[in-house]
A and B are shown apart, each in its own frame.
Chain A
């Protein structure tokens, strides 16, 4: 019973860490990007200041908006936080990973996206509809590619429970699996598309016609905007942690001692910092794609995922 309680406490602590660290990651990415582009970087803490500022501001809501518009940010934020409870951040063996597996995590993303897209349509402007339409297009192509990559993992570990799957990869030791290489590539491509980064979407854009994510949330302000921004930072971090902990799980705490947890925290922060640098470099080097080239990009991701799965089935399955 005491163990069980401890596990739940760690799970809650981990979720809080997730929520708390997400803006830091976003700030670090921005910082790296500025340096790379030879600009003066804002402090890594800038996203926190922005969020704080937004929560104190009075939100302006369109007279056309319905209840869905004002409630959607809370729903989006909660769904993203729930997705975060599923993913092991600093320790494996979480009870929350058992109450919702990786397919449910994808479901939470879908949940958040569903309401985000509806919120975009709520006010009845052309931009909102445009954003919703594009977001749903991209995500419906990205979701199968992501599941393909994840199925590769879950079939290797023969579980859809993320904690157990990561523990399995950890126990196997360093084995170079061709399927994992493909799955990693697929997941990276999907992560870029799903978190709205260059080359699929530009989070810093101010040109309405190229917007996707920003177009949907154009009408939001104040605390509503803060929640949505926070949720998208959380999503970026989630994908980062997924990539880092599935494919490079070393360092994550397997026991619940303070020392192991501390190491786990340091390890994941280090891994995320490196990933953020990679992302910043990629965003600096690559130009944004036209919207109708995104399908090629995502079908490539899907193909990689499929190759990963097939190479698992043909090369690695034990028979």
Chain B
């Protein structure tokens, strides 16, 4: 039953992709239907409905909606499948007679897969509500819908299959399906050369990552008999080989997840895809990579080493801090959000690292706490990052603008969007009452349990990481104050923003509203999600939270009520009481209603939108304080004029901020690859006799080897 749900989710997304291909087949369908009705004459009403649907003007709209309805159904089925396996705490296995003759596709659906199914399902449902309105803006002849929907369907199906796979072959096939389908989505708007470059970079890194994963599986497989995950689980590796497998998996999955320094594809590829696809890529695909890492380390390798935890903790800290600092400097909204995904993945890796450290030091309950925090943050990040990307899409749809410096004042033009976006910003800044805070709180609680460890270095390293986490959270708040403040508040900085109006399509508002509602709901009542994750850790780690009983709907006390507790509903009630009392007390007197007046302009008059703080101005203090983090190229050119060339006519400010990883890591690699190609090129003379000579020599060599 559960598997039926899971399979139907996969098939529905697949069919939604295929259905999109019908976009250009209207005439054929028309012909076919005419034949059909001629052959099997039926009542007029169904015939007229069908021909009505096939009308030239209505057909594309209806087809688009049908595609997204199928996709949405796939999301709903994924949620149902995930929930039912999580609630039942079951493990379902199956074999599909597909794939290689001696290796059918093995399917296994357990709590871990179920939890990620839930994440994918929620995100896909929200996106399919949002999609129909959003894709309307694409010109059919330039950006065909058929391609978009086909690869969206394949992409979602690929992600779901990765979660279902139970052998290395099937896993890699699904993984490649996901990667390649998303490549085409990134390259969707390919008329722009920057987009093509981004897509190529993405494909390149995805494939290098896939190679690393295959090698990782290879290491495991060479110690076991077969490629099924059951066989891999049963393998016994020496610590060295296990560590090699771990490093390969970390490289492969980390590349997909966007860990610094292999994150560079992420800020290039995510912004250029259509917004609902960026939402899926950033919100969900990174989580699938996380799933892969968890499955590989905690399940397949089994006994984790604390050194791996330290590696994850350090990489996670660097990613979290680097991600948010780079995010802060981006003027492009979607690029900023992509970098912020790097930050959030970093936070998840940090907590996962803590979990590993506790696990191998013999504190499985605390490991379960860390695991809980990591998965909960993954869940939250999927919610709010999706919300923010969809919000960015709405803004782009209405203003045709993604540069934060050209926006402003949208809170009055797009009031509903602004509220939804504000909720996303508050969640991602981990403010209390929203879901981001709960996972952050759990992360801090995990880090504070460090006293139980024996190793002195670890005990002093972890609090430092916790402080880095605090810095990250504070920087994230600053970054999203900037984002919301510059986009929605103040005066419009461009003509487009001045003329913008609210999104008309109801679905485009409903998708983000669903996500925003969940952000708030799980911020106030995190209990249900936590008990679901508890089931996952029970199955995977064999251990649940230390204090199961304290996980009521009201309280959150993961370790024990004496150590730490948090009751978001009570906090909400308190906030409402305090707010209402102050509001009531101060607004009693109607005589003192507001007086609307001009903004204070120091008496000079004429405030213009250009006098407002811009993105680069807002982040200037950060740029100065953390100057070493970026490669900053800041130039101020003055145009001089006048008799002595001493009067300033115009000032040009130029600011370019670059990622350190390009010149430090990628350019040397690129250089080395080119050098190598040149060396190889030397033996390629282009002369056929020389090539025949090579063949002959190889043949002789082989004969000599064999004999």
Q: Which residues of A contact B (CB under 8 A)?
A: 55-64, 66-68, 70, 74-75, 77-79, 81-82, 85, 96, 98-101, 103-104, 107-108, 110-111, 113-114, 117-118, 120-126, 128-130, 132-134, 136-137, 139-144, 147-148, 151, 154-155, 158-161, 164, 208, 218-219, 222-223, 226-227, 291-292, 295, 302, 305-306, 309-310, 313-314, 317, 319
Contacts and interface: CB of A to CB of B under 8 A. Distances in A.
B470 A59 contact: no
B574 A227 contact: no
Given A58-B594, A64-B599, A82 B618 contact: no
A81 B596 CA distance: 29
Contacts of B444: 103, 147, 160
Given A137-B478, A137-B622, A147-B467, A154 B448 contact: yes
A317 B459 contact: yes
Contacts, number: 260
A124 B409 contact: yes
B691 interface: no
Interface residues of B, number: 85
26 contacts: A59-B592, A59-B594, A64-B599, A68-B489, A70-B594, A74-B582, A77-B582, A96-B574, A103-B445, A107-B432, A110-B429, A111-B433, A118-B485, A121-B489, A125-B599, A132-B485, A133-B620, A141-B625, A148-B463, A151-B463, A161-B563, A219-B599, A226-B586, A309-B460, A309-B463, A314-B456
Given A110-B474, A114-B477, A148-B463, 16 more contacts: A60-B595, A60-B597, A74-B582, A100-B566, A104-B571, A110-B432, A117-B485, A124-B408, A124-B490, A125-B607, A133-B617, A139-B477, A143-B473, A147-B470, A161-B564, A306-B464
Contacts of B464: 306
Contacts of A151: 448, 463, 466-467
B562 A121 contact: no
B431 to A, nearest CB: 5
Closest A-B pairs by Cβ, 5 of them: A129-B613, A124-B490, A121-B485, A140-B474, A136-B478
A137 B621 contact: yes
B592 A222 contact: yes
A66 B625 CA distance: 32
B582 A113 contact: no
Interface in B229-287: none
B322 to A, nearest CB: 15
B578 interface: yes
A40 to B, nearest CB: 31
A186 B596 CA distance: 44
A96 B574 CA distance: 10
Contact of B490 (A79, A100, A121, A218): A121
B448 A219 contact: no
B176 to A, nearest CB: 41
B621 A121 contact: no
Nearest to A58: B592
B228 interface: no
Given A62-B599, A75-B579, A151-B463, A57 B592 contact: yes
Nearest to B466: A151
A40 B563 CA distance: 49
Contact of B562 (A79, A159, A314): A159
A98 B448 CA distance: 17
B467 A306 contact: yes
B42 to A, nearest CB: 57
B571 to A, nearest CB: 5
A85 B448 contact: no
Contacts of B450: 155, 313
A139 B474 contact: yes
Interface of B: 408-409, 411-412, 426, 429-433, 437, 441, 444-445, 448, 450-451, 454, 456, 459-460, 463-464, 466-468, 470-471, 473-475, 477-478, 481-482, 484-486, 488-491, 555, 561-567, 570-571, 574-575, 578-579, 582-583, 586, 589, 591-602, 607, 609, 611-613, 617-622, 624-625
Contact of A113 (B459, B471, B477): B477
Nearest to B597: A60
B592 A68 contact: no
Interface centre among A104, A140, A292, A317 (most CB of B within 10 A): A140
B490 A63 contact: no
B575 A103 contact: no
B471 A61 contact: no
A97 to B, nearest CB: 9
Contacts of B431: 107, 110-111, 114
Contacts of B586: 55, 223, 226-227
B594 A117 contact: no
Contact of A121 (B433, B474, B613): B613
Given A143-B471, A227-B586, A99 B595 contact: no
Given A114-B477, A313-B460, A129 B618 contact: yes
Contact of A160 (B445, B575, B621): B445
